[in-house]
Amino acid sequence: MKEISFGQSAALSGPHLFAAIVTRNEAGQANIMGVSWFSFVSMKDGKLLFCTSNKGYTGGVIQKTKKASLCMVTEDIKEKVLQCCTCSGSATNKIEAFGISLDTYDGFDVPVVSGAGVCWALELSDSMIAGDHTIYVMDVKKTILLEDKPHVMAFDGYKRLATV
Ligand SMILES: Cc1cc2nc3c(=O)[nH]c(=O)nc-3n(C[C@H](O)[C@H](O)[C@H](O)COP(=O)(O)O)c2cc1C
């Protein structure tokens, strides 16, 4: 037994879930960020939550537009989604910069990443600032399975994506 830091525990408690949050700002520009801190919240009235950094771009867009899509990431798209974790949508048009293709579907106000697995169309239900992140509770408006392929998880303290 030894005491470890909270930061170390984040790495050691992995692998962690991983998905792509897609948003669209008021001008219609789409953006993608990778997220590990997400969870199911309510099954009957479908709700999910995710936590985004108060320094990031995505949270501010959701506060304004109230909408997002969440996409499980397959091996086919993991490299491109990982690139979306390296910079901010406030400075970079990631869709153009990384050549990402998006698909639109009925019931989704925000597009999904082509080649993703399970995708959820989400609307903001509630948010709460929690330290350096904000918790977004999102109503699930529609759920689809784009590609029936295994999704990747985050290993080694969010450094590596692989299927289990
Ligand atoms: C595996 C992995 C998991 C991540 N999980 C989160 C997360 O749960 N919350 C968060 O705010 N950032 C997370 N990030 C970092 C964001 O994806 C990154 O800061 C991104 O550039 C934010 O984009 P934005 O500023 O366009 O919103 C993660 C990064 C990686 C590589």
pLDDT computed for residue 111 by the predictor: 98
β partners of residue 35: 19
Which residue intervals of 37-162 are DSSP H helices? 58-65, 78-83, 94-97
Whether residue 15 is preceded by a cis peptide bond, meaning omega within 30 degrees of 0, is yes
Q: How many Cα atoms within 13 Å fall on the side-chain side of residue 124?
A: 18
Residue 37 pLDDT: 98
Predicted local confidence at residue 70, as pLDDT: 99
Q: pLDDT digits over 58-113, tens only?
A: 999 999 999 999 999 999 999 999 999 999 999 999 999 999 999 999 999 999 99
Q: Whole-prediction pTM value?
A: 0.98
Is 96 part of a structural domain of the chain?
yes
Would residue 77 count as lying in a domain? yes
pLDDT at position 15: 97
Beta-carbon contacts of 56 under 8 Å, excluding residues fewer than 6 positions away, are 33, 88
- Per the rule left: phi > 0, alpha: psi between -120 and 50, beta: everything else, 157 is left
The mean pLDDT value for 6-31 works out to 97
For residue 31, the ligand 1 atom closest to its alpha carbon is 26
Mean per-residue pLDDT, 2-21: 96
**Contact, 124 vs 110, CB < 8 A?**
no
Q: How many domains in the chain?
A: 1
Q: Report, as an integer, the average pLDDT of 39-47.
A: 98
17 in a domain, yes or no?
A: yes
- Residue 89: what pLDDT? 98
Task: Flag whether 71 is in a domain.
Answer: yes
101: containing domain: 6-162
The CATH number linked to 67 is 2.30.110.10
Ligand 1 centre distance from Cα of residue 76 (Å) = 19
Residue with the nearest Cα to atom 5 of ligand 1? 35
- In a domain, residue 140? The reply is yes
Amino acid at position 75, single letter: E
Could you tell me if residue 1 is inside a domain? Answer: no
